[in-house]
Amino acid sequence: MGAFCVFSRNTAMTTYFAIITCAILAFAALNAFFWDRAYVRSYRRQMRENVYHCLKCRSIYTSRASGESAVCPVCGYRNGRVKF
């Protein structure tokens, strides 16, 4: 009986520990999922903007206009898109 009680308590503790571990893992996974979604969304928004480097006045600017070139807001010179 004594041995059974010890076993029973041990099983209960193991179950309790497993539940807590699962809860922590689920919370971490959910957290990572939402963080990833927010990060990817901001990253995509950033990637949509094309980066241009003006060859005339050497200023760096961004434009959301589609295409391979955009007019420099400083001097008006049309520059090609910078590729990374």
CB of 83 to Zn ion, least distance (A): 19
Give residue for tokens 């060859």.
55
* CB nearer to Zn ion: pick between 28 and 74: 74
> Which parts of this chain interact with Zn ion (CB under 5 A)?
54, 56-57, 72, 74-75, 77
Outline where DSSP puts E strands in 1-84: 50-53, 60-63, 69-71, 78-80
Cβ neighbours of 72 (radius 10 Å): 20
CB of 67 to Zn ion, least distance (A): 17
Instruction: Report the distance separating Cα 77 and Cα 7, nearest Å.
Output: 80
CB of 30 to Zn ion, least distance (A): 47
Q: How far apart are the first and last CA of the chain?
A: 72
* CB nearer to Zn ion: pick between 30 and 60: 60
* CB nearer to Zn ion: pick between 36 and 68: 68
